[in-house]
Amino acid sequence: MIRFEQVTKSFGAQPILNGVDLTFPKGKISVVIGRSGAGKSVILKHVMGFIKPDNGKIWIGGEDTSEWDQKTWRHNRKRFGMLFQDSALFDSMDVMENVAFPLREHTHKSEEEIQTLVMEKLKLVGLVNAEKKATTDLSGGMRKRVGLARAIALDPEVVLFDEPSSGLDPIVTHVIDQLILDTQAQTGCTYVVISHDMASAYRIADKITMLYEGKVVFDDTTQAAQNTDNPLVRQFVEGQLNGPFNIYY
Ligand SMILES: Nc1ncnc2c1ncn2[C@@H]1O[C@H](COP(=O)(O)OP(=O)(O)OP(=O)(O)O)[C@@H](O)[C@H]1O
Ligand SMILES: [Mg+2]
């Protein structure tokens, strides 16, 4: 579904991606891991077309995105849903309006259709009787659920999750993981999940990609990640201080 081919990106003098090759296969859950600052969110911003590579290509659904103009990007972005790192809810709107937002922006559906769709998505993420709540009254886990309902409101082909479990306790993390697995199984969408949390990555991933110093240093199945001798993966997974990681990077 999505393929990066030798993608490089620098911000000023700072190289962030340095020849990244990776694939996010259709209908699977791909998890990207790596240190803080490794460029994980930058990968998602490339997929959304918010930033463009300096060199290399990004293929989406078999198309070379370097050939897409602004209008094509705007059209194709509707095929993607995104759950942002901090949920990024609109605090001036209640739960219902947050989930309705993409439907109002991108479709011409009637008010009745919108209400029905919103209730359907809220049910899918396990939020019932919460539609009139102010987002500021929600717990972190509930905010993630609303963010997820909003991300899937337009029935996207691809859903991108930037650290869906950051700031959540281990049990709520597990609940969100289960929600990711359930919604993916129900919709058959392509999911890309950025994560720091290895327990969570192992639970949900079909494949795991690890970024380090601008390159992909591991890209294989979850089982292969659990069994690999790759010292970078082992150190990251075990959170060890000693190992090949430059801890001042
Ligand atoms: N638009 C931008 N302009 C300049 N620098 C940027 C921009 N976006 C990202 N960066 C830089 O790129 C580097 C990687 O950022 P990124 O947000 O992808 O890290 P990350 O792997 O998602 O980290 P974290 O796990 O902390 O979220 C950082 O040094 C960041 O400052
Ligand atoms: Mg990030």
Interior/surface letters 91-117, b for 16+ CB within 10 angstroms, e for the rest: eeebbbbbbbbbbeeeeeeeeeebeeb
pLDDT of residue 124: 85
Q: Whose atoms come closest to the Cα of 212: which ligand?
A: 1
Domain that holds residue 167: 11-38+55-79+158-249
Q: 121 with 236, same domain?
A: no
Q: Is residue 68 classed as helix, strand or coil in its secondary structure?
A: coil
Q: 222 with 170, same domain?
A: yes
Confidence of residue 97 (pLDDT cuts 50, 70, 90): very high
What percent of the chain is predicted at pLDDT more than 70? 99
Distance from the CA of 136 to the center of ligand 2, in angstroms? 23
Q: 66 with 17, same domain?
A: yes
Q: Which ligand 1 atom is nearest residue 39's CA? A: 18
pLDDT of residue 248: 65
Does residue 242 carry a pLDDT above 90?
A: no
Confidence of residue 199 (pLDDT cuts 50, 70, 90): confident
Q: 134 with 183, same domain?
A: no
Distance from the CA of 192 to the center of ligand 2, in angstroms? 13
List, in order, residues 6 or more apart from 160 with CB less than 8 Å away: 44, 47, 48, 80, 81, 82, 83, 151, 191, 192
**Of 156, 175, 190, which residue sits at a domain end?**
156
Q: 69 with 186, same domain?
A: yes
Is 242 within a domain?
Answer: yes
Nearest CA to ligand 1 atom 6: 11
pLDDT of residue 139: 87
Does residue 71 carry a pLDDT above 90?
A: yes
Q: What are phi and psi of 214, to 5 degrees?
A: 80, 0
Q: Whose atoms come closest to the Cα of 33: which ligand?
A: 1
Distance from the CA of 46 to the center of ligand 2, in angstroms? 13
pLDDT of residue 249: 54
Is 127 within a domain?
Answer: yes
Contact 30, 193 (CB under 8 A): yes
Q: 112 with 133, same domain?
A: yes
pLDDT of residue 218: 94
Is 66 within a domain?
Answer: yes
Is 3 within a domain?
Answer: no
**Of 108, 137, 156, which residue sits at a domain end?**
156
Q: 180 with 130, same domain?
A: no
Q: Whose atoms come closest to the Cα of 43: which ligand?
A: 1
Q: Is residue 194 classed as helix, strand or coil in its secondary structure?
A: strand
Q: 62 with 92, same domain?
A: no
Beta strands 158-162; 80-83: pairing state: parallel
